[in-house]
Amino acid sequence: MMVSAAVHVRMHKNRQCSKMKDKYKIAPVKQKQVKKEVEIKQRMTVAELAEAMDKDTDHVYEALLHTNIDIDILEQDFVLDEKWIKEVIKKSGMKFKWAKLSEEKVKENKDAVRRPLSDPTVLVPRSPVVTIMGHVDHGKTTLLDSLRKTQVTAMEAGGITQHIGAFLVHLPSGEKITFLDTPGHAAFSAMRARGANVTDIVILVVAADDGVMKQTIESIQHAKNFNVPIILAINKCDKPEANHEKVKKELLAYDVICEEYGGDVQSINVSALKGDNLMALAEATIALSEVLELKADCTGPVEGTVIECRNDKGKGPVTTAIIQRGTLTKGCVLVAGKSWAKVRLMFDENNKPMKTAGPSTPVEIVGWKELPSAGDEILEVESEQRAREVLDWRKYVETQEKNKDDFEVIEAKQKEHYETYKKERESFSSMNWRQRKSAMYKANKHLMATRPKERTEIDEHSLPIIVKGDVDGSVEAILNILDGYDADEQCKLKLVHFGVGDISENDIVSAEIFSGLVYGFNVNASKEVQQMATKKGVKIKLHRIIYKLIDDLKDELSGKLPAALEENIIGTASVLALFHVTVGKEKIPVAGCRVQKGQLHRKMKFKLIRDGHILWRGFLTSLKQLKNDVPVVKTGMECGLSLDKEIDFKLGDEIICYEEKEIQQNISWDPGF
């Protein structure tokens, strides 16, 4: 019992001690809450700010709810000023810090550039680079064919050179001339400009039986823009209707003055088909090149220009280039545009291997990692690592420029959006909130997401296409034409993808996704690809002539347009008298008419015209002759008729009977040829 009492006393004391401790217990130290830091810039889009805060965009919208900014105009790409960025961060219980300046902004320029002008003592004479220019079908390719004794023309589709070519011609005298053949077709304007840019002399081919044409004038302009001298080759002089003097006089208007008229332009009459006077043309070219004293430096890093590029099944990416400085050999590392190459193989225009290629030499280069673009400058660099540095720099510059352009577009759209919103708000200013809500709902109803059926109807008025071509220049020419498309209000033309090479399975997949079709120019589609296209319901359109491809595209665009209603007039009648007939308790107006032309058919459509204005369209409720219902009233006969709408006739009104026919509309786009 005594032990039990002792335990009880001890427990009582412990409880008292515990109470004392609780009474004087020291409160735990609250840990300071660490606010999350958010890196900000002076201007950020809603999406960028949300990402920096690790929140969704709705969080940003909520933070701006009770501020002066209009929530209705906010979208993910809306650019917020510094004031609103800080406001959102503050309301979110975070703190900001300014983002460090990107190291890329002080990135060292690693680009490759042309070297300074060479010392005159190291320069050696070089062959002239001559560009043949002129209008379609004036005989440029035939002229080159005769000069190099090959049958290029027989291989060209439709007699039109489809893409630029570079050829070295050896003359009997031992002289060499490099010729560039630029297409004369309207579509290839950019390629003619590129040809003029790398050339020393332009031979302007004009047909003696045709005279100065549109592309002739354009070729003259290109030559003058690049300050390139011209030699005039008047072709087809063997034709009976040839008039070379007329050609020379026409050219005076474009400041091309031949020597016979006191100018400095040599004029040679030739027949490319028969080979007449071609040596005189070659000698005139050599004589002019001697006057120009054409020289180049064969030493040092290579410089040149891409004339054409294509994907070859056996060789991979291949470029045709003109070397302008230095000597190209196997193993050279080159950069052009945003691509680079370590030269594996070199070929001449006849596909024969080459060991070296000096200034003025056309050469096919194999070894590119990717296809550069026609017109790109070729520069030799020290190593593959240096080539990658150059490409990284160029891609960086392109990205910076794109970001700047994108920002300007966003700002412009934002401004436009705000102005529209402001005008809408002004129109609602006098309404109470319920009226405003109702009016805004009605105003924005059309912006709500379309249903699948409606979306299909919208898609019916658009044509997605994929374009594949044999070489870069061909694709470029087609894209230049498509850039001039101006009939979006009828049918939108959507370019989904374009590229060089044969049509692939990926092209078919893309076409299926976008419900589009694939156009191929001078390319093929394998049997497997064609079978895949058939299975997926994708059209493949292959063409060898550019204007036929464009005509086909116009037909496809026209096929997307809704049929138009065309009215065919069957008969006309004049109102000569007015009557009222009682039917039940109603008085029906009746027109007494005489048919002036054609016939009136009871079941056809009619319209009432007064003073040149259409007052009514519809059907007749009755057509009578001598109180008898009749189906047809012929020319010269009189009748009485009433309409399906009550209209007061007047003497002299014209009643026209017509039928409506659906006709296929044509796209209004005119590509210019």
At residue 450 the predicted structure's pLDDT band, cuts being 50, 70 and 90, is very low
- As beta bridge partners, residue 176 has 170
Six token digits for residue 507: 């092209």
Q: For the chain, give me the number of helices (H) and strands (E)? A: 17, 34
Separation of alpha carbons 60 and 45, rounded Å: 11
User: Using the 8-state DSSP alphabet, how is residue 294 labeled?
Assistant: -
Provide φ and ψ at 302, rounded to 5°: -75, 140
CA 482 to chain centre: 6
Separation of alpha carbons 566 and 440, rounded Å: 40
The whole-model pTM stands at 0.62
Separation of alpha carbons 225 and 391, rounded Å: 30
Residue 106: C-alpha distances to residues 363, 387, 410, 448 (Å): 39, 20, 25, 46
Separation of alpha carbons 71 and 340, rounded Å: 49
Q: pLDDT per residue over 321-379, tens digit each?
A: 999 999 999 999 999 999 999 999 999 888 889 999 999 999 999 999 988 888 889 99
Res 159 pLDDT > 80: no
At residue 181 the predicted structure's pLDDT band, cuts being 50, 70 and 90, is low
| DSSP state string for 501-566 | SSB-HHHHHHHHHTT-EEEEES--B-HHHHHHHHHHT--EEEESSHHHHHHHHHHHHHHTSPPEEE
Q: Which residue has the tokens 């390629």?
A: 191
Q: pLDDT per residue over 590-636, tens digit each?
A: 999 999 999 999 999 999 999 989 999 999 999 999 889 999 999 99
Q: pLDDT per residue over 237-285, tens digit each?
A: 888 888 888 899 999 999 999 988 899 999 999 887 887 888 888 889 9
Q: pLDDT per residue over 58-99, tens digit each?
A: 888 888 877 777 676 677 778 888 888 888 888 888 888 887
Separation of alpha carbons 346 and 479, rounded Å: 30
CA gyration radius for the chain?
40
Q: What average pLDDT does this structure show over 40-63?
A: 85
| Amino acid in position 501 | G
Average pLDDT over the chain reads 81
Q: Which residue has the tokens 């290029």?
A: 152
Beta pairing, strands 517-521 & 632-633:
unpaired
Separation of alpha carbons 192 and 112, rounded Å: 27
Res 25 pLDDT > 70: no
